[in-house]
Structure 1
Amino acid sequence: MPLNLAETLLAEGIAPSPDLSHQVRKLGFFREGFFSYADAIAGRLGLSVVVDPVLLTRAFLDWRDEFLGQSRVADINRRDYMIFSSALMLYNLVRHRPASLDLQHQGHVLASAGEVKRLEVFWPEGLLYTGYCLTTLDTVLAQEGEEPIHLSPLIAETATWWSFRENVLEDPTRAIGFLDLFVGAEPNWDMPCLAADRPAIRGLARRIRH
């Protein structure tokens, strides 16, 4: 895959913190981390991203309720539940849309070259939301001693992002499946918000029962 996109999305890591997997469940920590990541990515891409703190808070609170409400299945496959948690956050960011591109920079974007710049033209917010979720996931997995993420080549294909954007405009829950695709996990397109029905969790649960 072109390194520009992967390097840009994952370049700005989440600040190290003890017990990060629990810290990310706190609103203050989340807000600080998201604003920091948004500013860093905007700076790298030469854009100005405006974040609505009220919508950002709503996205977080909805994510936390959904995440904690299904945590009973986390121990079945901890790594996959961490992926699910990140995908669930992406879904809520896409649904509440707390960030927006300052359109006065569009001329700069259109004049720029490279895969990332072309993606910025039609969906810069999608890059921001996805990059934040992937970066947080990668950092938490590392701290928890889990296998790191391995980004799929699909993440560097413009057609994938067009499909991603069109699908989530119709149904924001599909963002969960797209993040799964980006990290090489098997999506559950029928019921993406149900952790217990994820292939990696459901299959392991069956083996445990038998």
Structure 2
Amino acid sequence: MSDLTIKDLGMPATSEPVRVAARRLRWFRAAFRAAVQRVSVETGLRFEVDDAKLASGFVHWLRVVERGHPHDRAARPAYFSHAAGMMLRLLLKEAPLTVVGGPPDVDPQRPEYFWPEGYCCTVFCLNVYALAVRQEFGRDAALGVDFDDLGIWWSFKENAHHNSAYAIAFFKLFAGVDPSWEFPDSFQWPKGALEGPIPVRPLG
């Protein structure tokens, strides 16, 4: 299992709760760059960050999150994973990361080398989510058992390419939360969407 998942990646210090700090572009940008740097150190991959695309993804995410925030406090834990999934969806959609270099001999069977940009964005969102959960609910987020499964990552990349909403469902899968494959971008409380198998879109 990767050493980069669901742990402190050296996110920038803040006097505010992470759930609040994450809504500040300055902190969001610094936290994203910190996560990218950590992934780069651990994997040998080199990334270029497009700040304009990162800011665009942040603004769109903030609008969606604030519009959909539930009034029922009992729904907050479930909404945190949904909001983090939406963060991943919009980061992948804006694509602020580009791989510009890396080690010569990498293992393409490892998720971080199979899809570096998607992996890096996912690790960032997982860690923001984990920090927020720890602060707000006093518990540690648990990484899903499928995180290191290359077949899951292949399905994630393929499905998110054709329908970005699936990024939310795959994020929840990686975060150890039951996803909705039928309506991945709809937050329902109490949960009402039917569960189903992971969708796989055939190549060609």
Selected match of 1:8 from 4, 9, 12: 4
| Residue 114 of structure 1, CA deviation | 8.7
Match of 1:112 in 2: 106
Seen in structure 2, the aligned counterparts of structure 1 residues 193 and 41 have a Cα distance that, compared at 3 Å, is: same
Distance 1:20 1:121 in 2: 29
Contact 1:63 1:92 in 2 (8 A): yes
Seen in structure 2, the aligned counterparts of structure 1 residues 143 and 163 have a Cα distance that, compared at 3 Å, is: same
Match of 1:86 in 2: 84
User: Are residue 21 (structure 1) and residue 19 (structure 2) matched?
Assistant: yes
Give runs of aligned pairs for residues 151-166 of structure 1, distance below 5 A. Answer: 151-166=143-158
Selected match of 2:140 from 148, 155, 175: 148
Larger mean CA deviation between 38-47 and 169-178 belongs to 38-47
RMSD: 2.0
Give runs of aligned pairs for residues 1-210 of structure 1, distance below 5 A. Answer: 3=1, 5=2, 7-11=3-7, 12-18=9-15, 19-73=17-71, 75-102=73-100, 104-105=101-102, 108-109=103-104, 111-113=105-107, 118-195=110-187, 197=188, 201-203=189-191
| Residue 16 of structure 1, CA deviation | 4.1
SS at match of 1:78: helix
Contact 1:181 1:187 in 2 (8 A): yes
Distance 1:114 1:121 in 2: 5
RCO comparison, higher one (Cα < 8 Å, 6+)? 1
Larger mean CA deviation between 140-149 and 47-56 belongs to 140-149
Distance 2:172 2:139 in 1: 15
**Could you say which structure has the higher helix fraction?**
1
Distance 2:51 2:107 in 1: 32
Match of 2:199 in 1: none
| Residue 78 of structure 1, CA deviation | 1.2
Distance 2:190 2:113 in 1: 39
| Residue 77 of structure 1, CA deviation | 1.6
Match of 1:207 in 2: none
Q: Which residue identity lines up with residue 15 of structure 1 in the other structure?
A: P
Distance 1:165 1:13 in 2: 27
Unaligned runs of 5+ in 2: 193-204
Contact 1:79 1:146 in 2 (8 A): no
Seen in structure 2, the aligned counterparts of structure 1 residues 192 and 44 have a Cα distance that, compared at 3 Å, is: same
Distance 1:203 1:191 in 2: 11
SS at match of 2:98: strand
Percentage identity across aligned positions? 25
Unaligned runs of 5+ in 1: 205-210
Q: Which residue identity lines up with residue 64 of structure 1 in the other structure?
A: L
Distance 1:151 1:179 in 2: 10
| Residue 171 of structure 1, CA deviation | 0.6
Scaled by the length of structure 2, what TM-score is found? 0.85
